[in-house]
Amino acid sequence: MLPQPRPAARRPLAAVALLALAVPLTACGSAGTGTGAGDARAAISANQGSGSATPSAPASSSAPPKPTKVLMPTGPATQFSKARDTSAGPILMTTLAGPKSGVSGKVWVWLPPQYNDPKYANTGFPVLTLYAGGQSAGYNTWTDNQLPIQEIDQQMVTQGKAHPFIMIMPVQNLDSNEAKALECADIPGQPKIGTWMSQDIPDFVRANFRTLKGRDGWAVMGASTGAFCSAKLALQHPDVFKAAVPIDGYWNPDSPLWKGHEQERLANSPDQLIGTGTADVRMLATAGGANGYETKLVKNWIAKAKAPTTVEYYEQPGGKHLTSDFKKMIPTTLEWLTANTAGPEAD
C-alpha cells in the first residue's frame, strides 16, 4: 500500500487571507503507439455462478466479502502516444471519441511515477482533471513547462505534502474562435462538450487506470476560463467530483452561442449554481491580490455559497491574472487538494 502523505495542515499562509465563507459540510460525492500506460493497466474478470432453485445453507465459517476501495481498469484499453517528457515522467496523449457525447477531442494524461511501480500494482490513485485558460482548443497549458504541476507534485509527494495524482488534461473547445466558445456545457445545437467532460472523460479514466471507488478521490482545477469550467462541473456533478479549485475565475457564461437560450445559460452559470445549496462539494477559490476587480468578483461569488457547498478563499499577495502567477500557486493548491480528497489506497 502506498504510504499516505501526511494531511496538509490547515495553517495560516503567510500574507494570505484564507477564509471559510460558507456553512461547514453537513453529514448526510489520438490514437498512437502504445506507451508505458499500457503496462500499468490490468483487466478484471468476474465469475458468476448459476443460480440454484434451493439455496444451500451458508457455511458457518464464511465471512462477508471485504469492501474494496480500488477500482481496477474496466477497459477497453486506450492507445496513447507520448506528447513530451518531464523530469517527473512522460505526458501521454490520445484523442477521445466520447460515446455519450459524440464529441472527439484531445486528452493528455500524466501518471505519477508511483503508478507504474510494481509495489503499487494493487493501489488506486486519486484523479485531478486540469482545465486551462483561454480557448484551449488543441492545447492545454497544464501540459507544458509554463505550469509544471507534474514536477511540483512529485517534489511535494517526497516531502509528504501532496498525493500522487493521476492528472487528466483535456481540451475545452473544438474551435479557436472565441465566438464559438462552448463554456464546458451542452449548449443547445452545439457539440455536447459538457457531457464529454462530465461523463466521457471520467469513464475513459476508469477504463484505463486504477482509481478509487466513489467520488472522494476525484477533483477538478483550472485557471481563468478553466476556473469557470472547474467550478461549473463540480457544482453540476457532485456525484462525480468531491473538490474543485477555481483559480482567478469568472462565473457568468457569456458565449455568443447562448443567444436565444437564456434558461439553459442560467442553468450552466456558476453564479447561479453556487447559491442553490444542492452540491455537497468543497472548493478553494483564488484571486490575485493586485487585481481589485478580480478579488471583488471572487469574494462576491463566494458569499453566495449555501450549505452543503463550502468555499474557502485564497488571495495571492500581489498576484495578477498571469500564467506566471498561477504557477506560483501550484504548491498551495496541491496542498489544499490533498487535504480535501482521498489519497492512494490498496485493498
Between CA 297 and CA 278 the distance in angstroms is 22
168 found inside a domain = yes
Q: What's the pLDDT score for residue 67?
A: 74
Closest by CA position to 18, among listed 291, 341, 284, 306: 284
Between CA 242 and CA 129 the distance in angstroms is 12
- What proportion of the chain, given as a percentage, has pLDDT over 90? 80
Closest by CA position to 149, among listed 125, 170, 166, 137: 166
Task: Quick: pLDDT tens for 97-128.
Answer: 999 999 999 999 999 999 999 999 999 999 99
303 found inside a domain = no
Mean pLDDT of 279-308: 97
pTM for this model (two decimals): 0.83
Grade residue 252 by pLDDT with cuts at 50, 70 and 90.
Answer: very high
Q: Name the 3-class secondary structure at 94.
A: strand
Grade residue 297 by pLDDT with cuts at 50, 70 and 90.
Answer: very high
Mean pLDDT of 286-312: 97
Closest by CA position to 220, among listed 209, 211, 233: 233
Q: What's the pLDDT score for residue 65?
A: 66
Closest by CA position to 86, among listed 158, 154, 170, 133: 154
**How many structural domains are present in the chain?**
1
C-alpha radius of gyration, the chain, whole number: 21
Full domain range(s) for residue 83? 29-36+70-248+323-346
Would you give the DSSP letter of residue 188?
T
Task: Quick: pLDDT tens for 164-223.
Answer: 999 999 999 999 999 999 999 999 999 999 999 999 999 999 999 999 999 999 999 999
268 found inside a domain = no
CATH of the domain at 234: 3.40.50.1820
Query: Does the pLDDT at position 16 exceed 50?
Result: no
- What proportion of the chain, given as a percentage, has pLDDT over 70? 81
120 found inside a domain = yes
313 found inside a domain = no
